Structure 1
Amino acid sequence: MSNSKIPKVGNRTTLAPSISSFLKHNPSLHLGGANAFTDERRHHTEVFGIHSLPKEKVHPIHEVEFTAIRGPHGTIPVRVLYPKSGEEKRKKGEAAALVYFHGGGYTVGSVDEFENGLRQLAEESAVQIYAVDYRLAPEFAHPVQLDEYDAIISWLDSSGGKSRGISPSLICGGGDSAGGNMTAALCLRRQDHKLPPLAAQILLYPEARLPFDTPAASENNSGLYLECNGIFSFADHYLPRGIPPAHRYISPGMQEIKDLKGQPKSVVCTAGFDPLRDVGVEYARKLEEAGNVVIWRHFDRLTHGWLQMGAWSDEAENAIKELAGEVKKVVYG
């Protein structure tokens, strides 16, 4: 018998009207569409970039720091979002840090396109967010990105975190979509390498494995922003030759339950109108069955990418607010 209250697959109800309207107004905005990924990179920056948003839609934040560290594969740019709500903790050296790896199929995206949603998340959770412009595939394949993730964590665990008021016991990792995949993979890899575990992992509509056999992959195949069949080309960009797709650090969601024991506390969010919905639900369930603490939140009216859609959708903003509440609870208790 399963000891998990999380279902095997998710559901969808009615697409939120604000999301429906956003998709109608941006008919050529796809992730994993038929166009070249270079076109998608440009188009995403044009639509979601914080510089493109109307001023009144930009979330206030106490302070933004642009910095960088030397990583194992070159310089890694990092954008630090300091929330006003976290200033007391920062002064006392008791602040939490969330290292954030954005989505985009390992191939598309930059921190500019995620900053607005992450500002809201930072202010409402009192957690400092370290949003990383990691190297993208296909120019750079696995494990370059995981190496960069580890480099940022090491930096925060030492001089970088100390000077910014971070408690070493409150360093978390998070990401959406492909960033959720890399976060889950990094937690497994750190466990295998006997490195200190993260305080928590925050997985937003994660690509826990390839969705070739799920109801969501059929129901939400096309026309809902993330094109399901495009996920396979993204995986091809990320996956070096010679590493099987079922590998622990490529498809955390394909691992057996016994091999997922001892993971950090997890917040897993899924969306009803997302082709990745069911692989995210499945991973949350497996983590819980393995005895881990899991908070699962399902948004049955939203689509993939809602973290970026707050400027156009109150429903998306409300989901970010709910996420922030869970992050605050998991991190600060």
Structure 2
Amino acid sequence: MDLNRIDQNLKESIDRFPFSLELDENEFLHHPELIQEEKENLAKTYSITAPDDITVKDIFVKSSGDDHQIRLHVYQPEKFDRNRTIIYFHGGGYIFGLPEQVDKQMFEIAAKLHATVISVDYRLSPQYRFPVPVQDGFDALQWTIKNGEEQLGINPQNLTVFGGSAGGHLAAAVTQMANDQGIKNIKHQFLLYPVIHNRLDTSSMKEFTDAPIWNRKYAEIAWAHFLGNDDKDKSIRYADLTNYDDFKNLPRTTIVACELDPLRDEGIEFSQLLYQARVPTELWVIPGAIHVFDLFEAPLTDRYNEFLYSRMF
């Protein structure tokens, strides 16, 4: 990939970043548990303290499928608006990551929007393959609906789901699952450079085979871990988000895609399906942006944050 296509200020910020976000392809394929441990240690090493006016706590919710306790990492400002609640799903290719890796962004969102953020520490693949991570997210949604008012003081009838990358996929999958079960509490889904399907056949996926941070090969490995080798090429409901028959009843949607991201065209394709179903949908394809651009300080990230703050509710 021609790195000169990256927004210049963003590229300079990436070059100054204190550590690399690149993955070891062999390790990602054969030893994902090492990457899981590395990312967990990284989040601890670069942890930041919560602002005084934001309470951070963990709530544990029993899984509907077994005895696992799903951790909900909750951020709540002192002066929160009970009608502003976000259920958030972190990225990491389904394989790594944890809520704390985006503490900085969640503190800012909670503070700027007076919002309660419930970040789901869903189980990771390949130890827990599809549909477990999606079901963990749905269990978190059901807990929020049943217990959110009593335990957090929120209005569970007015929820936004938000996620980035694989987390964007999980947010949208949970939304589809909720719609199928007649649950209408989700009023908005905000999908940041989301994974949409496992076909790996879009123009952007074919073009960006060597893009920084996320590329086609990483996507192939992630899907193999998430679905398993026997199912990685199958179109399965809630895994392939285009394999769905009730788009018209999904909530208002915002999709942010990046020009230089292999996932770009999946987000565009998903927005087209929503437009055709007459779902109020806004799509922004950001010129000069790469996957997870928002982790780097740059004017481009500032413009995205202003967009996010103005669109989340």
TM-score tier (shorter): 0.7 to 0.9
CA contact (8 A) 2:83 2:154 kept: yes
Q: Percent identity?
A: 21
CA contact (8 A) 2:95 2:126 kept: yes
Cα pair distance change 1:60/1:295, threshold 3 Å: farther
What TM-score do you get using the length of structure 1 for normalisation? 0.81
- When the two chains are superposed, the root-mean-square deviation of aligned CA atoms in Å is 2.7
Distance (whole Å) between structure 2 residues aligned to residue 177 and residue 122 of structure 1: 20
Distance (whole Å) between structure 2 residues aligned to residue 281 and residue 13 of structure 1: 24
Q: Which one of the candidate residues 125, 134, 145 is aligned to 2:122?
A: 134
Map of 1:9 onto structure 2: none
Gaps of 5+ in 1: 1-11
Please say if 1:83 is aligned against 2:77.
Answer: yes
Cα pair distance change 1:129/1:50, threshold 3 Å: farther
Q: Which one of the candidate residues 256, 270, 283 is aligned to 2:270?
A: 283
Query: 2:250 is paired with a residue of what secondary structure?
Result: coil
Map of 1:316 onto structure 2: 301
Query: 1:40 is paired with a residue of what secondary structure?
Result: helix
CA contact (8 A) 1:121 1:321 kept: no
Please say if 1:148 is aligned against 2:136.
Answer: yes
Measured against aligned partners, the alpha-carbon deviations of 1:105-144 in whole angstroms (never above 9, x if no partner) come to 1111111212212222222233211011111000001111
Map of 2:221 onto structure 1: 233
Query: 1:252 is paired with a residue of what secondary structure?
Result: coil
Measured against aligned partners, the alpha-carbon deviations of 1:274-323 in whole angstroms (never above 9, x if no partner) come to 1101101111121111110112222212211134x14x434324312321
Structure with larger RCO (C-alpha < 8 A, sep 6+):
1
Map of 2:35 onto structure 1: 40
**Partner AA of 2:151 in structure 1:** S
Map of 1:325 onto structure 2: 310
Quick check: 155-164 or 129-138, which moved more? 155-164
Cα pair distance change 1:114/1:60, threshold 3 Å: farther
Cα pair distance change 1:242/1:50, threshold 3 Å: closer
Q: Which one of the candidate residues 156, 181, 195 is aligned to 2:169?
A: 181
Please say if 1:120 is aligned against 2:108.
Answer: yes
Distance (whole Å) between structure 1 residues aligned to residue 52 and residue 255 of structure 2: 26
Query: 1:191 is paired with a residue of what secondary structure?
Result: helix
Distance (whole Å) between structure 1 residues aligned to residue 48 and residue 57 of structure 2: 21
Aligned length: 304
Cα shift at 1:50: 6.6
Distance (whole Å) between structure 1 residues aligned to residue 300 and residue 77 of structure 2: 22
Distance (whole Å) between structure 2 residues aligned to residue 210 and residue 59 of structure 1: 39
CA contact (8 A) 1:81 1:130 kept: yes
Map of 2:280 onto structure 1: 293
Quick check: 144-153 or 235-244, which moved more? 235-244
Cα shift at 1:97: 1.5
